[in-house]
Structure 1
């Protein structure tokens, strides 16, 4: 799953960690980074100067923010793993029919990353959702895990752990494996407040041309509006039909 062979540069890891923190906190200072990263302050200052020189950070006084160049790079990466326009329309139709939020994610390094999100719900908080997800507590993630061999699942859990997001999050591996067996039988996964309080969703795996899992599709929303009968009923049916449409069009380009 994860290739640990070959030489790795700690300096590169430090630079990337600085960028991650700058994105997470929106703005950072050298003093703040000195508290968060166990490196000499002079070394961190050199990393910052290099990142500014390479136009990945913008400096304003003692504050550093990520540059707009990140948006350009991100857009380029999104296009390389893009949904074709007809697939976007397919996902939008599901959101309109269900009246709930629909998310398409791509599987990379044992995580799900957002590719496209659509919602016809007035309660959707556009732009506030996360862009990277664990597999053990998301509907699409659990659906993906249910299709992987147990050794690969173990490696993913070893790498990322099973962080508890809510009281309902499954954090015991044996309990998760029992859940994955059920998911494999029914062909889709349900989360009931496991990712966030008050939120439920149904998810399924999206496969590439070779049949391998390459991502997931999920539809969900607030629990006060969506009961379990609806999740297992019409939402699951609509979801699986949309997945079949996406796969037949080979719309998740890799």
Structure 2
């Protein structure tokens, strides 16, 4: 019996075009053709269809994704009561810590920011919808620490371990050791591994079945997130908030 799922090649091509436009922050037709290896006529037909349906816009020679994706993303996020609770906790924690706070989820081996809360004095330059590699993200590490070693290695094999700074962990064994420390502490730490001068702390939020719903994190310049501050204040408060959110989510799922 063949259990392989049926797929439609035309849909896959459209999705790859969309992802390419997103990753390039807008791109031209020749660049899409060269990068994807499709014929010019094929790419052009897909772009025309996406434009007619309102998913792509064209500014001069540059194709961009339209705001239709924003509205779809908002619907996907806001329809789920679990995420409404996560938004509330993100805002509460940002006020309590007086720090930038995020709630992120893992999707297909990457981390995406669903909620970000900061003011002018605590803003660190991240926005809702940003993607991160799991090995460079505090929320990514917090979530990976809940996975089996096999699953962790699968994700690393899928996306690699890109070096963002000289502090980025790029060795799987070193990351596995770091994840073990995360389990022991109860929270993860990213020390300038995504951005020079920035530290972040993350704590996982679990579903009743033990699988991660997502993770909360707070980030700030290294001079604000010292080892002492993390150990005595930030870490415990972050874990407490994550545990409270885990309980809140469990209640609505019962």
TM-score (norm 2): 0.88
Consecutive unaligned residues of structure 2, counting only runs of 5 or more, are none
**Aligned pairs, number:** 251
Over 3 Å counting, the alpha-carbon distance change for 1:136 and 1:25 in structure 2 is: closer
Partner of residue 167, structure 2: 168
Secondary structure of the 2:173 match is: helix
Change (3 A) 1:126 1:146: closer
Q: Deviations over 1:94-145 (max 9, x none)?
A: 2122121111012222222211111245141556576122221211211221
Matched residue, 2:39? 40
Change (3 A) 1:39 1:89: closer
Q: How far is 1:193 from its partner?
A: 0.4
The residue that corresponds to 1:12 in the other structure is 11
- Report if aligned partners of 1:99, 1:121 keep a CA contact under 8 Å in 2: no
Equivalent position of 1:224 in the other structure: 223
Query: Equivalent residues in 2 for 1:1-254 (5 A)?
Result: 5-59=4-58, 62-81=61-80, 83=82, 87-120=86-119, 122-125=121-124, 131-250=130-249
User: Residues 80 and 253 of structure 1 are in contact (CA less than 8 Å); yes or no, is this contact kept in structure 2?
Assistant: no
Kindly indicate whether the alpha-carbon contact (under 8 Å) linking 2:105 and 2:213 is maintained by their aligned counterparts in 1.
yes
SS of 1:197's equivalent in the other structure is coil
- 8 Å CA contact 2:124, 2:219 repeated in 1: no
CA deviation profile, 1:140-190 (whole Å, cap 9, x unmatched):
211221221111112111111111111111111111111111211111111
Alignment check: 8 A CA contact 2:77 2:83 kept? no
Q: Secondary structure, in 3 states, of the residue corresponding to 2:113?
A: strand
Which secondary structure does the structure 2 equivalent of 1:64 belong to? strand
Q: Quick one: higher RCO (CA 8 Å, sep 6+), 1 or 2?
A: 1
Query: Which whole-Å CA distance do the structure 1 matches of 2:231 and 2:75 have between them?
Result: 37
Cα 1:86/1:75, change in 2 over 3 Å: closer
Structure 2 residue matching 1:217: 3-state secondary structure: strand
Rounded Cα–Cα distance in structure 1 between residues aligned with 2:83 and 2:6? 37
**Contact 2:87 / 2:103 at 8 angstroms: preserved in 1?**
no
Q: Which moved more, 1:148-157 or 1:79-88?
A: 79-88
SS in structure 2 at match of 1:32: helix
1:214-233 Cα shifts (integer Å, max 9, x gaps): 21111121112221111122
The root-mean-square deviation of aligned C-alpha atoms, in Å, is 2.5
Alignment CA distance shift 1:87-1:178 (3 Å): closer
Q: Contact (CA 8 Å) 1:206, 1:215: kept in 2 or not?
A: yes
CA distance in 2, matches of 1:86, 1:12: 34
Inter-CA distance 117–161: structure 2 relative to 1 (3 Å threshold): same
Give distance in 2, aligned partners of 1:253 and 1:65.
39
Q: Give the drift of 1:62.
A: 4.0
